[in-house]
Amino acid sequence: MNELHWPDILDAAIKNQTINGVKPGAPANETLSVPKIISWSEGKLEAEWNILESLHNSRGELFGGYYSVLADVALSYTVMTYVKDNERFKTIDLRLSYYRPVSTGKIRISCSVTNKSKSFIYAEALFINESGKNLAKGVATFAIVPA
């Protein structure tokens, strides 16, 4: 991935394809169960994720800390929809609010960039269950760093 084009990475992630023999995303994505991108447009991204029983807490609910993984990945992809090819970014702040527990099914993750300045990008992710109820919300700040 010598020449980085964010839209190509997003499209390859949707199609589960490689770019120049490399799978999009961090090496950790191979180990972690990360959300699947469904669609994207500038500043917006929709993803989904199937709840894994192996990620339940002792009460049989999705472990709350795992929302951090889901939020960081989904929001990073969302930032890719908004930055220029010559811009890079890194998460510098990630906050979560929990509304209700969930145990089974599929979670929809609706993300958007809420603001961009010269040095920072702000984005949020809303986690929604199959009944349309809000489960949690993630809010992140990304620093724009030199390429």
The pLDDT of 90-113, averaged and rounded, is: 97
- Judged by phi (left if over 0) then psi (alpha if -120 to 50, else beta), residue 43 lies in left
Does residue 50 sit in helix, strand or coil? strand
Residue 136: enclosing H or E segment and its boundaries?
Answer: strand 134-145
- 122: in domain: yes
Domain residue limits at 113: 6-145
- 10: in domain: yes
Question: How many domains would you assign to the chain?
Answer: 1
β partners of residue 137:
97, 126
Report residue 146 as tokens. Answer: 């030199």
CB 57 within 8 A of CB 51: no
- 1: in domain: no
The pLDDT of 95-124, averaged and rounded, is: 97
pLDDT at residue 1 tops 60: no
The pLDDT of 109-133, averaged and rounded, is: 97
Quote the mean pLDDT of the chain.
Answer: 92
Report residue 107 as tokens. Answer: 């979670």
Strands (E), 42-133: 44-50, 88-98, 106-116, 120-128
Which pLDDT score is estimated for 30? 75
- Which amino acid type is present at position 30? E
DSSP state of 39: E
| CATH number of the CATH domain containing 55 | 3.10.129.10
